[in-house]
Amino acid sequence: MTTKTVPERKAIPDNDTWDLTPLFAIDQNWEDLYGEAEKDLVGYDEFRGHLGESVDIFRDAIEFDLAISRKIERLYTYAHLKSDEDKANGTYLGMLQRAISVFTRKAQASSFMTPEIQAISDETMAAFRADPSMTAYGFYLGKILRYKPHTLEETVEQVLAMSQEMAQAPSEVFGQLDNVDMSFGTVQDETGNDMELSHGNFTTFLNSPRRDVRKNAFFQYYQSYENHKHTLAATFSQSLKKDIFYSRVRNFETCRQSALFADDVPDTVYDSLIETVRKHLDPLFTYFRFRKEALGLDELHFYDTYTPIIRDIDFHMPFEEAAGTSLKALSPLGEEYTEVLGKGLLGRWVDRFENRGKRSGAYSSGCYDSPPYILMNYEANNINSLYTLIHEAGHSMHSYLSIEHQPYVYHDYTIFVAEVASTFNEILLGNYLLELYRDNPAMKAYIINREIDNIRATLFRQTMFAEFEKITHDMAEHNKPLTIDVITSVYRELLEIYFGDTLVIDDVLALECLRIPHFYSAFYVYKYATGISAAISLARKVLREGAPSRDTYLEFLKLGGSKWPLEELQEAGVDMHSPQPVEEAVTHFSDKVDQLIEVYKELA
């Protein structure tokens, strides 16, 4: 019997790897640019204290700063991509650490610029911005100047900067406890073998067809959180206090206002998301009732919500075929889009397969001076790999079009819009596959169910998380105690709302709020829910209306970070100030639930 082993990096054919020579042909070229970037840092001294003297000095300082940032991003991109090829390679790990170091030194050297820009008088700044040579930097400067009421005198800013590392304590303590010190014991798998339970395989156990395996893993996993619940509650509470400190010292009314300010998102968008999802929970309840019936259960528990309803799907698609399938699915976006993407997917944008030491997971990454690379670990027998490929291709094409149509200063788009392009592509893939497998009810049901569970996890679940963050921050801001009993009580009430009477809520499920890392980056998770809502709305428009909506969508991808995210989405045809996109996402979800129920009848 032959044992399949993970190959070494050197055994992977070149055509199956990404081509990083557009960044640097050889490592020595990286070293040369690194030395150049280090020497450039002293150039900041020429501008310190002089930004308000003339528009020429002002413009030259901005362009000098952007030029160094561009060099360092190129250095970092190459180093992190090479390091991710094999995490055991000390050479590239060292280069990555050096790239981070020069970035940190650049941040320190340029730290005077924002306060100095904000200190320039309104009259002088208006004259600078009116100069024709500054036309390209209007939005860039606007983002800096709007922070003026929230920027303090230099000595206070220095103290705040010094406090940043200390402020990471709650997140770091949580990370160490959650990822290092906590252990979850062993659980028997379907074959009766004892396996160590971990964060990595917890979901795998919840996918088990055997309910006793799912149940045992669930309760054993949460026993560790029960054992550490007081420490975790205290850590979470301190994270909220940290948020309150920084929001108040920077003159924001609330933590949420402080967090949303960077993207110019009003509280009403956040509130509208929660209100709209809460009003339209019935399709979710319908799905859970169907899931209980399809699994043949008397009652549904949380550990029953991950296991596939449709199993044993026969799927095999080599990478080249997956690339071709992706291009066919994305044909509604036009020949130019698919031609560029096709050349990228088959022309070494993608590092395709697993090798020993390679980073797990998948991502799209690059910089202004490189192709938008994709790292993944493609598996021909797993349909999820096909979805991963087209998802990351959405990010890469977003980056490609942004770079093609924007100057360096505006090429990078915000997280708020980042997931729109990737999720949009997944929706088009699902639409294509349903037609491709129209005579295969089992595959159709699997594809529909996959999309339902993705929307459930991204729209409904993340909205519940967003509401939890809103409630707990409001409590902390009003000096209410946040003990373990209070925190879990709030979370349990939300579970009861978002699951209704469709789920038996085991007591330990209220501890789930103690294990979500995103809660240590406050008011972030709502972006997942708004992102998928915008993507669904845009994809449905393109499929329904064709070329006009396609062209508008492609123009949105070309905007990069040249406008506020809500403004960009509005130009694409989605108004996130309105509940309409979220309502349309719920309607889409409801339609998919109805489709699944109908298709499932064909399997009986």
Distance (Å, whole) CA 243 – CA 29: 43
Distance (Å, whole) CA 390 – CA 392: 6
Domains within the chain, CATH numbers bracketed:
11-151 (1.20.140.70)
Residue 232 to residues 126, 228, 389, 461, 489: CA-CA distances in angstroms?
Answer: 50, 6, 36, 21, 15
The question of whether 392 is a catalytic residue gets the answer yes
Angle at 470 between CA 239 and CA 476, to 5 degrees: 50
Residues with Cβ < 8 Å from 225, sequence gap 6 or more? 182, 232, 508, 511, 514, 515
Please report the DSSP string for 421-470 in residue order.
HHHHHHHHHHHHHHHHTTT-HHHHHHHHHHHHHHHIIIIIHHHHHHHHHH
Q: Residue 497: in which H helix or E strand, if any?
A: helix 484-499
One of 73, 85, 116, 392 is an active-site residue; which one? 392
CB 593 within 8 A of CB 442: no
**253, amino acid identity:** E
CB 79 within 8 A of CB 102: no
Please report the DSSP string for 115-136 in residue order.
HHHHHS-HHHHHHHHHSGGGGG
Distance (Å, whole) CA 205 – CA 185: 13
pLDDT digits (tens, 9 = 90+) for 464-519: 999 999 999 999 999 999 999 999 999 999 999 999 999 999 999 999 999 999 99
What confidence category does residue 9 fall into, taking pLDDT thresholds of 50, 70 and 90? very high
Distance (Å, whole) CA 179 – CA 160: 29
Q: Nearest Cα to 473, choosing from 521, 516, 510, 517?
A: 521
CB 360 within 8 A of CB 377: yes
Q: Burial level of 364, CB count in 10 A (0-12/13-18/19+)?
A: buried
Spell out the alpha helix ranges (H) of 281-412: 282-294, 319-329, 335-346, 383-405
Average pLDDT, the chain: 94
CB 548 within 8 A of CB 412: no
Among positive and negative, which fits the CA dihedral 289, 383, 210, 212? Answer: negative
What confidence category does residue 224 fall into, taking pLDDT thresholds of 50, 70 and 90? very high
What confidence category does residue 38 fall into, taking pLDDT thresholds of 50, 70 and 90? very high
DSSP label at 356? Answer: T
3-class secondary structure, 375: strand
Query: What is the predicted pLDDT for the residue at 1?
Result: 41
CA dihedral in degrees (56, 112, 109, 30; nearest 10)? -50
Q: Nearest Cα to 588, choosing from 469, 492, 448?
A: 448
Q: Burial level of 131, CB count in 10 A (0-12/13-18/19+)?
A: middle
- Strands 186-188 and 350-351, by their bridges, are unpaired
3-class secondary structure, 182: coil
What confidence category does residue 161 fall into, taking pLDDT thresholds of 50, 70 and 90? confident
Distance (Å, whole) CA 130 – CA 216: 67
A 10 A CB-CB count for 395 gives 23
CB 270 within 8 A of CB 260: yes
What confidence category does residue 4 fall into, taking pLDDT thresholds of 50, 70 and 90? low
pTM metric for this prediction: 0.92
CB 247 within 8 A of CB 492: no
pLDDT digits (tens, 9 = 90+) for 112-128: 999 899 999 999 999 99
Residue 504 main-chain phi, psi, to 5 deg: -80, 115
Structure tokens belonging to residue 74: 């190129």
CB 179 within 8 A of CB 199: yes
Q: Residue 374: in which H helix or E strand, if any?
A: strand 373-375
Residues with Cβ < 8 Å from 514, sequence gap 6 or more? 225, 229, 232, 233, 236, 487
First to last CA, the chain: 39
Among positive and negative, which fits the CA dihedral 276, 280, 281, 283? Answer: negative
Q: Is the pLDDT of residue 303 over 80?
A: yes
Q: Is the pLDDT of residue 387 over 50?
A: yes
pLDDT digits (tens, 9 = 90+) for 306-328: 999 998 888 999 999 999 999 99
**27, amino acid identity:** D
Tokens 């050479």 correspond to 91
What confidence category does residue 296 fall into, taking pLDDT thresholds of 50, 70 and 90? very high
Q: Is the pLDDT of residue 96 over 60?
A: yes
Distance (Å, whole) CA 161 – CA 145: 19
